[in-house]
Structure 1
């Protein structure tokens, strides 16, 4: 049950991201508020963190190995995502890359034995693997809501 819920939630963003293909380039890059991210940045952010999870979490979990002990430079990962989104790469390429990396992530989550989801997350014995993934799903949903809210407000402004 736990594993299936995580997979369903992670896959749900793929269908939703396809709806973003209809955005104008102006809206795709427009900041939510002055000095904040835009939709392009968030989708690129998803790519970066999915890759991080693949390379620095799931790969180790599947091998029953300890997670890398290096500190996670959240700021650097986020800056790299924004930079990638604004290198001139097209909206379609960013969305396609997100879908590709997300499918890879989900396929690896699917390989994790279901019973592991009730076990402690390596290195954080007070958190189960399921709780870790729920945190990642909630992170996705927070950003999805941020984009949806922004786009809804933009629709309202276009009728003024």
Structure 2
């Protein structure tokens, strides 16, 4: 069945459909470029932290176990929705908000430039150093433990 209004050769129909497809692709490319150029604004109450999805809806925020709230949203750097199951066991730097029950409500995956901007709750802060993290002065050997 010919969908063109007038009986024309099929070559002209293909040419018209190719022009329409190129036009749509151009619009899509322009919209994508515009989305990348937009600076994202995060809510004032958004916190910074590292997120590891253990098994949805279980998540660890800054090494503290918690859960995703019902209807929680994860947005990537282009503000597209991401499924939590695609992020299992990956440690990611994020901005996030919590609901009144303390569950993670909304998460923004950060680009490198966004991660450099300081924000409240940036990472885990400890007032101690593990022995494995300590450095020894040059020329000294590690102590040997004897029982």
The question of a shared fold, defined as TM-score above 0.5 by the shorter chain, is answered with: no
TM-score by length of 2: 0.20
Quick one: higher RCO (CA 8 Å, sep 6+), 1 or 2?
A: 1
Structure (1 or 2) with the greater strand fraction: 2
TM-score by length of 1: 0.19
Structure (1 or 2) with the greater helix fraction: 1
Point out the structure with max Rg over C-alpha: 2
